[in-house]
Amino acid sequence: MDKVLQALADNEHRYFRELAELVAIPSVSTDPRHAGDVRRAVEWVAARLGRAGGIDVDIWETPRHPAVFGRWHEAAGAPTVLVYGHVDVQPPDPIDAWTSPPFVLTERDGRLYGRGVSDDKASMLLPILAAEAFFAAGEQPPVNLRFLFEAEEEIGSVDLPALVRARRKELACDVALSADGGMWRADVPSITVSARGLASLEFTVRGPRKDLHSGRHGGGVANPLHAAAALVASLHEGGRVAVRGFYDDVDPIEPALLTALDRLPFDEAGYLEDVGAPAAFGEPGYGTLARQWYRPTIEVNGLYGGYQGPGSKTVLPSDAHVKITCRLVPSQRPDDVAAKVRAHLERACPPGVTLTFEDDSHGSTAYRVSSEHPAVRAAAETLQSVFGAPAAVVGMGGTVPVTTMFRETLGVDTVFFSFSTADEDIHAPNEFYRPERFRLGLRAWVELWRRIARSGAKD
Amino acid sequence: MDKVLQALADNEHRYFRELAELVAIPSVSTDPRHAGDVRRAVEWVAARLGRAGGIDVDIWETPRHPAVFGRWHEAAGAPTVLVYGHVDVQPPDPIDAWTSPPFVLTERDGRLYGRGVSDDKASMLLPILAAEAFFAAGEQPPVNLRFLFEAEEEIGSVDLPALVRARRKELACDVALSADGGMWRADVPSITVSARGLASLEFTVRGPRKDLHSGRHGGGVANPLHAAAALVASLHEGGRVAVRGFYDDVDPIEPALLTALDRLPFDEAGYLEDVGAPAAFGEPGYGTLARQWYRPTIEVNGLYGGYQGPGSKTVLPSDAHVKITCRLVPSQRPDDVAAKVRAHLERACPPGVTLTFEDDSHGSTAYRVSSEHPAVRAAAETLQSVFGAPAAVVGMGGTVPVTTMFRETLGVDTVFFSFSTADEDIHAPNEFYRPERFRLGLRAWVELWRRIARSGAKD
């Protein structure tokens, strides 16, 4: 047996214990109360990477959460790959909806449950363990390695652009390999060639200075909840975004992607049953996958104001809050889209209330890579070898901001190489990971690096 | 000096301590966790009424919260008055907005702060203390007395209709005097001749069975927050309610009420400054007071779904919730209005989501009493005597469900005789009461009963 794969098998008994340790750290990057936990997770990953073998490890500070950097460069003449992943996670809310505690890795019915286990803690551990297996087997990794694990992916990688610019020399490479991303389905190996961008906005609608009795005052002054609802309702018209200019920079979906879409074994009824939605819904003229992968959207992620407790409370509330994210396709610029949505809301704001926007909006552009890129081909061949089935070409509805950043700052493309799956309830209660993907993923990382070394894949 | 008024002055030192005791009981009737506290408040009032003198006191059970009944009937040949008030309070949320703890009666800048102090604990204590003063002074009260203090006013007096029907003989009287209601302004004594009715609805908009990642799934299935916003936005059009048939049973405002409105010293700019609203807003064609007192409204009291924590969370939430109350004018029936709003929402519900209504909607009709009613005249004369200024004729935007019930079941009108004021932030943080109104109110109750006895006021 291959000595590296043997090393993986020999050490498997401790991999899930280590994953449980990492999941136990509530590294919720969006919540300032968890800043210390985010740092603990970064330090845990740095220490783990340091124990893998001959990798030099550093912690890079940013104004918010630090990142982990690793470097090994003894494969003379071989390509250099930059492995990317993230250690931060989404908030566990609503906590009551979890069957087991979100930060206790729990096996149930052959799945591993925990916040962040799928996005991205299991998948980002794989390349660390794969590198370790080379060293443990007494073999050198076949490619030169860079590792970059950030802790701000769930807040839009806000400090990463500056960090990557400042560290472009240390990060120089031939191709980036993202351990973040996730495959389309558990039963079809797939190569992701696109990810949508993101533009976020948050605003508050204010009416009276304080909550008022809705009997005494109702009818006299504007209710901020009515105004917020009118604003949110104005964003769409018949499933299509109604913001002026929103679709201006949106190109038609490329024929190659449409062809690949047609080839996919997509069972819409099964999908709807899985997510429990009564029907598909969205922009007219596009199929469900096309709308999710290759068309832009506006989604309200939070809308709230007034009384939320049991029973009723006759209040005319002082304010209402709205959190919005737009998903973007190539050519749409996040700042431009955010400005158009903001201008739309300002035009649409009804009388009797005021509208204020939070300053912390963030964004990132969408990403596309050619399916003919040599590293994409190496990844596709690896998946075919490991899974025993050809890899489908798919898009991703979510956002991986680093892809565009790596292209712009380091001049390299990114290959998504994650062993999470899109149905694993990431960002939702009861997020889970399939442990068998962990084993397949370890083998795949070993093989991918070998294939890239053989192909000499340089961009 | 009048012996009864002397008794009031002699005992004043303990009145505010007793008020503090009552305010300290968090009798939040809408929250099942406070059911024991509501009962404690009822028992406190029963005990206090029992100590007043010769009043027979009983606690009447209902399926939810009990009520206090008191009876004294030794004024042979004199009219019988039924004094009404309520011991339950609104939830204190948002608690963080309180300057001092909501259930600790706190004096600050000459005001008494506490949840329920204005609505209705201070005002409902007054007639108990006034009755006690007669007994303490060795005088009989000049009228026969019935007391009914319920503990479900803040949840729409849900069990009171059945209770009043079952106890109609014990409650038989010539006129009802409501210690709940509140005056229009602190500087103008006023007699309230109308109160709006209420119809409540609560509904949930459901999309996917669980929260989804808004990147992966956004554009594929409907977002319940978009649907809830569209539904709420559809309820109004240019400040007017857009529900089909909502205004069908609404009569024009009576000329006498319009004349009284014209006479009121209403300072709209001062009102807007007080509530901190940027502008007045509502149904076109009516002034602010007319809209608040004599026109029906729909107000959303709560609208919420998705992520509400710090920062952003890219979630496409599973559901959204809406709490609504309508305020009604005479001739509008709560069930009919609720059914019309419900039918409107069902018609307006967009595709891709389902709409479910909570079963616990409640309502009560609006109330009007003639300003020529003998007990209304006795009350107006009393206020002129106590305040030294004529009483204005005003309406009330809020709802006092018992008024219609007393008319329908006991055949009597109700005179509002509360010494709370509309600006005392009831149902909002930092609710307060003006202690000087407590002293004036005690004197007024003594005088009102004497005037009613002299006029022999029977309906």
Question: Active-site residue A372, yes or no?
Answer: no
Terminal CA-CA length for chain A = 32
Question: Active-site residue A88, yes or no?
Answer: yes
**What separation in angstroms does the CA of A256 have from each of A252, A366, A374, A393, A404?**
12, 18, 18, 10, 21
Interface-testing mutation among B190, B243, B281, with chain A (most A C-beta atoms within 10 A): B281
The answer to whether B30 contacts A297, with C-beta atoms less than 8 Å apart, is no
Answer yes or no: are the C-beta atoms of A159 and A333 closer than 8 Å.
no
Considering only CB atoms, B232 lies closest to which of A91, A229, A297, namely A229
DSSP string covering B194-220 = EE-EEEEEEEEEE-SSS-EETTTSBTT
Answer yes or no: are the C-beta atoms of A281 and B1 closer than 8 Å.
no
Taking the CA of residue B362 and the nearest CA in chain A, the distance in Å comes to 10
Structure tokens at A138: 């007494």
The answer to whether B276 contacts A209, with C-beta atoms less than 8 Å apart, is yes
Q: Which helix (H) or strand (E) holds B42?
A: helix B35-51
* Residue A408: other Cβ atoms inside 10 A: 12
Measured between alpha carbons, how far is A412 from A409 in angstroms, rounded to an integer? 8
Q: How big, in percent rounded to 5, are the helix, strand and coil portions of chain B?
A: 35, 25, 40
pLDDT of residue A1: 77
Structure tokens at A289: 């996958």
The answer to whether B308 contacts A325, with C-beta atoms less than 8 Å apart, is no
Tally the C-alpha atoms within 13 A of residue A31's C-alpha that lie toward its C-beta: 16
Measured between alpha carbons, how far is A54 from A72 in angstroms, rounded to an integer? 7
DSSP string covering B93-149 = -SGGG-SS-TTS-EEETTEEE-TTIIIIIHHHHHHHHHHHHHHHTT---SSEEEEEE
pLDDT of residue B457: 55
Contacts of B152 (CB under 8 A, 6+ apart): B29, B62, B64, B65, B67, B86, B88, B158, B159, B160
Structure tokens at B91: 């939830």
The answer to whether B219 contacts A291, with C-beta atoms less than 8 Å apart, is yes
Structure tokens at A97: 């909806």
pLDDT of residue B456: 73
Give helix A224-233 / helix A334-348 axis angle, nearest 10°.
130
The answer to whether B31 contacts A310, with C-beta atoms less than 8 Å apart, is yes
Chain B residues close to A228, C-beta within 8 Å: 229, 303
Structure tokens at A45: 């990953």
Taking the CA of residue A55 and the nearest CA in chain B, the distance in Å comes to 34
Sheet holding A432-433, edge to edge: A106-108, A111-113, A432-433
Answer yes or no: are the C-beta atoms of A132 and A103 closer than 8 Å.
no
Q: What is the predicted ipTM?
A: 0.81
Chain B residues close to A282, C-beta within 8 Å: 219-222
Which DSSP state fits A94? S
Give me the residue label for tokens 């309230």. Answer: B192
Interval A343-378: pLDDT, tens? 999 999 999 999 999 986 678 899 999 888 999 999
CA proximity to A23, closest of A149, A114, A95: A114
Answer yes or no: are the C-beta atoms of A184 and A422 closer than 8 Å.
yes
Interval A267-277: pLDDT, tens? 999 999 999 99
Give me the residue label for tokens 């502008």. Answer: B279
**What separation in angstroms does the CA of A386 have from each of A125, B213, B381?**
18, 28, 94
Q: Assess whether pLDDT exceeds 50 at residue A459.
A: no
Q: Which helix (H) or strand (E) holds A275?
A: helix A268-275
Among A219-228, A337-346, A419-428, B297-306, where is mean pLDDT lowest? Answer: A419-428
Measured between alpha carbons, how far is B362 from B325 in angstroms, rounded to an integer? 9
- Annotated active-site residue in B153, B154, B319, B413: B153
Measured between alpha carbons, how far is B415 from B391 in angstroms, rounded to an integer? 13
pLDDT of residue A458: 56
CA proximity to A277, closest of B203, B202, B227, B234: B227
pTM of the complete model: 0.81
CA proximity to B298, closest of B355, B222, B350, B234: B234
Hey, what's the torsion of the CAs at A182, A183, A186, A187, to 10 degrees?
-170
Considering only CB atoms, B313 lies closest to which of A271, A301, A351, namely A301
Taking the CA of residue A127 and the nearest CA in chain B, the distance in Å comes to 24
Structure tokens at A349: 């704001």
Angle A431-A435-A438 from CA coordinates, rounded to 5°: 110
Measured between alpha carbons, how far is B341 from B346 in angstroms, rounded to an integer? 9
Answer yes or no: are the C-beta atoms of B215 and B314 closer than 8 Å.
yes
Mean pLDDT by 10 residues, chain B (459 residues): 93 94 97 97 98 96 98 96 97 94 96 97 98 96 98 91 96 96 87 93 96 93 98 97 98 92 92 94 96 97 96 93 97 95 97 92 86 92 95 90 90 95 89 95 97 77
Q: Assess whether pLDDT exceeds 50 at residue A169.
A: yes
Taking the CA of residue B426 and the nearest CA in chain A, the distance in Å comes to 6
Helix (H, G, I), strand (E, B) or coil at B309: coil
pLDDT of residue B410: 97
Interval A310-336: pLDDT, tens? 888 899 999 999 999 999 999 999 999
Phi, psi for residue A172 in degrees, rounded to 5: -55, 135
- Altogether, the residues listed in chain A come to a count of 459
Interface-testing mutation among B288, B314, B353, B424, with chain A (most A C-beta atoms within 10 A): B314
Q: For B190-209, b where at least 16 C-beta lie within 10 A, e where not — what string?
A: bbbbbbbbbbbbbbbbbbbe
Answer yes or no: are the C-beta atoms of A80 and A73 closer than 8 Å.
yes
Measured between alpha carbons, how far is A167 from B198 in angstroms, rounded to an integer? 64
- Assign A457 a pLDDT band (cuts: 50, 70, 90): low
- Altogether, the residues listed in chain B come to a count of 459
pLDDT of residue B459: 47
Which DSSP state fits B391? P
Q: For A282-294, b where at least 16 C-beta lie within 10 A, e where not — what string?
A: bbeebbbbbbbbb
Measured between alpha carbons, how far is B320 from B311 in angstroms, rounded to an integer? 20
Tally the C-alpha atoms within 13 A of residue B303's C-alpha that lie toward its C-beta: 32
Interval A388-408: pLDDT, tens? 999 998 999 988 888 889 999
| Residue pairs between chains A and B whose CB atoms are closer than 8 Å | 374
What is the set of domains in chain B, with CATH numbers? 3-195+366-455 (3.40.630.10), 197-250+296-364 (3.30.70.360)
Measured between alpha carbons, how far is B137 from B450 in angstroms, rounded to an integer? 15
The answer to whether B325 contacts A302, with C-beta atoms less than 8 Å apart, is no
Which DSSP state fits A218? B
* Residue A26: other Cβ atoms inside 10 A: 20
CA proximity to B41, closest of B70, B21, B17: B21
Measured between alpha carbons, how far is A257 from A371 in angstroms, rounded to an integer? 10
Interval A93-136: pLDDT, tens? 989 999 999 999 999 999 999 999 999 999 999 999 999 999 99
- Assign A143 a pLDDT band (cuts: 50, 70, 90): very high
Considering only CB atoms, B301 lies closest to which of A207, A312, A327, namely A312
Interface-testing mutation among B427, B430, B431, with chain A (most A C-beta atoms within 10 A): B427
Answer yes or no: are the C-beta atoms of A395 and A194 closer than 8 Å.
yes
The answer to whether A288 contacts B90, with C-beta atoms less than 8 Å apart, is no
pLDDT of residue A455: 85
The answer to whether A279 contacts B218, with C-beta atoms less than 8 Å apart, is no
Measured between alpha carbons, how far is B300 from A226 in angstroms, rounded to an integer? 7
- Annotated active-site residue in A119, A120, A132, A153: A153
Give me the residue label for tokens 């949505």. Answer: A341
The answer to whether B232 contacts A220, with C-beta atoms less than 8 Å apart, is no
Considering only CB atoms, A314 lies closest to which of B232, B309, B325, namely B325
Q: Assess whether pLDDT exceeds 90 at residue A32.
A: yes
Across A178-185, average pLDDT:
88
Which DSSP state fits B408? I
Chain A residues close to B207, C-beta within 8 Å: 277-278
The answer to whether B312 contacts A155, with C-beta atoms less than 8 Å apart, is yes
The answer to whether B313 contacts A30, with C-beta atoms less than 8 Å apart, is yes
Measured between alpha carbons, how far is A238 from A95 in angstroms, rounded to an integer? 33
Considering only CB atoms, B310 lies closest to which of A31, A212, A226, namely A31
Give helix B435-455 / helix B122-136 axis angle, nearest 10°.
60
